[in-house]
Amino acid sequence: MRRFTLTFALLFLLFGGRVEAAALPADFVYLSDVAPSIVLDIRYARTDNFVGRPIDGYVRPTAVTTLATAEALKKVQADLQRFGLGLKVFDAYRPQKAVDHFVRWAKDERDVRMQSKYYPRVAKRDLFREEYIAAQSGHSRGSTVDVTLVYREAGGFSIELDMGSSFDFFDPRSWPDYPDLTGWQRANRMLLQTVMEKHGFKPYPKEWWHFTLNHEPHPETY
């Protein structure tokens, strides 16, 4: 048993945790295979999210996208790296079972343990009406991503730029054009939006981190 455990641990290290990675459709890829320098912080695979537990379907903290999306993000990353910056991805392809998990959670109005951090000024019952949660998500088409900007400090640590609100903060403060921000926060949001739009992404008006590839290959498939 000890020898088996050691062997598995070595395989895990060698193959980045994807010893038994699921086969993907022909035009889907693991983002790290196309753009390995992009930082991944897949929140729905952990407890640090608005539900407070790992979300159904997120069996590994990895990012899957359509090939076209990954190639566009690679170009974004190349532009940013010239200035010592880079992308961090919070979410990419989202299984429908994860969306269904959000829907079940939203209907349980007693579970508000994460409200103070993620939706302090929105009643949980209003998350659908305010369009922060939907029964169908563009993420499930494989060409929508949640991202922010980071810079590298000595030692290789990636530090997020100040965007004026955190990821998945359900509040008007997270709208890209929210006015009551510092100059640096507005500039950081503008930089992110500008470089994403340059490489073919369109923003979402209620989340500064949310972008969808124009001319996505599966516009009607969830």
Pick from 55, 153, 37: which is nearest to 106 by CA?
55
User: CA-to-CA distance for 178 and 121, rounded, in angstroms?
Assistant: 15
Q: How far apart are CA 104 and CA 120, in angstroms?
A: 20
Cα angle 172-177-181, degrees, rounded to a multiple of 5: 75
Is 207 an active-site residue? yes
- Tokens 């299984």 -> residue: 95
Distance between CA atoms of residues 73 and 213, nearest Å: 10
Strands 39-40 and 85-91, sheet pairing: parallel
User: Is 16 strand, coil or helix?
Assistant: coil
Q: Of the listed 131, 160, 207, 216, which one is catalytic?
A: 207
d(CA 151, CA 79): 13
Nearest residue to 64 via CA among 96, 18, 32: 32
Which ranges constitute the DSSP H helices of the chain? 2-14, 31-34, 67-81, 96-107, 115-118, 183-198
Residue with token string 């395989």: 11
Catalytically active residues, by annotation: 207
